[in-house]
Amino acid sequence: MRKKINLKKLIAASLAIILTLSLALAVTVSADEEHALFINRDGILFNGDVAGMFANHSSGDDEVDVEEYLGGTIEIAGWCVTDAEIQHYGYTVDGGEFVVSDYVNTIEADYNAIRGQMSKFEDAVDAARFWVKVPIQPGEHTIEVYLQANDEFELLWTVETSGGVEPTPTVDPSATEVPTAEPTEVPATDAPTEEPATEEPTAQPETTKAPEATEKGGASENEPKDGSKKNFPWPVILIVAVVLAAVIAAVIIISKRKKK
């Protein structure tokens, strides 16, 4: 004798398995997205003034007034230890295009010191300094510094800049409106006093042409040409019949199982 399957328990078990797999996948994906094992943010400087860099040491979310540095550069410096090879450092301004930083650390002592930090992390694969230089623009802007590793982007630093006034578009004073020519009146011409006489055509007996049928039972000239002529809906009837047959078969099978 067959044991009856408890559908409620089966559904609950299936949902539990799906939920467990989804959570495991989410944890795996989120772990893969972050490659920075350690981030050291040295600070923010302007126009290469290294002396002022450590005075602006930050936690990675800053607001900076750049009005006195307009026309120069804001520079954001630090270094990372990662669990994947570092492809690039770079930045975006106001969420725009990612700009790759071309900085190369040529200071051997600094390079070796940063590489030496990798020994502190079991999964460390790479370590390098970033030094992102961004042209300063007047007004309010958001600079975001990113690490690119394993073809993924990870946000390292956000800097909100303000100061100065964004330039407004100017109008060329030499530009003048092109005067439009006023419409001139067309001189009136004398209307002819007499209309030329025309002979009236003699009336012809009206004849009607019988509509000619098109080939293979096509529509005649008097029938609508926009496809409004309707055919009998055989496909719809066929689909409805199949669905009804399937429902009836299901009802019969269920009723037989209940009798057993």
Q: Length of the chain, please?
A: 260
> At residue 187, what are phi and psi to the nearest 5 degrees?
-60, 135
Residue of 135, 134, 56, 73 lying closest to 101 (CA atoms)? 134
Q: How far apart are CA 22 and CA 26, in angstroms?
A: 6
Q: What is the 3-state secondary structure (H, E, C) of the chain?
A: CCCCCCHHHHHHHHHHHHHHHHHHHHHHHHHHHCCEEEEEEEEEEECCCHHHCHHHCCCCEEEEECHHHCCCEEEEEEEEEECCCEEEEEEEECCCCCEECCCCCCCHHHHHHHHHHHHHCCCCCEEEEEEEEEECCCCCEEEEEEEEECCEEEEEEEEEEECCCCCCCCCCCCCCCCCCCCCCCCCCCCCCCCCCCCCCCCCCCCCCCCCCCEHHHECCCCCCCCCCCCCCCHHHHHHHHHHHHHHHHHHHHHHHHHHC
Predicted local distance difference test score (pLDDT) of residue 172: 62
Predicted local distance difference test score (pLDDT) of residue 95: 96
Predicted local distance difference test score (pLDDT) of residue 227: 42
Predicted local distance difference test score (pLDDT) of residue 141: 97
Q: Please state the domain extents for the chain.
A: 35-162
Predicted local distance difference test score (pLDDT) of residue 206: 46
Predicted local distance difference test score (pLDDT) of residue 7: 53
Per-residue tens of pLDDT for the chain, all 260 residues? 455 555 555 555 554 554 444 444 443 333 346 899 999 999 999 998 887 776 666 678 999 999 999 999 999 999 999 999 999 999 999 999 999 999 999 999 999 999 999 999 999 999 999 999 999 999 999 999 999 999 999 999 999 999 988 766 666 656 555 555 555 565 555 544 554 444 444 444 444 343 343 333 333 333 334 444 444 555 566 676 767 777 676 667 766 666 65
CATH code, residues 35-162: 2.60.40
Predicted local distance difference test score (pLDDT) of residue 166: 72
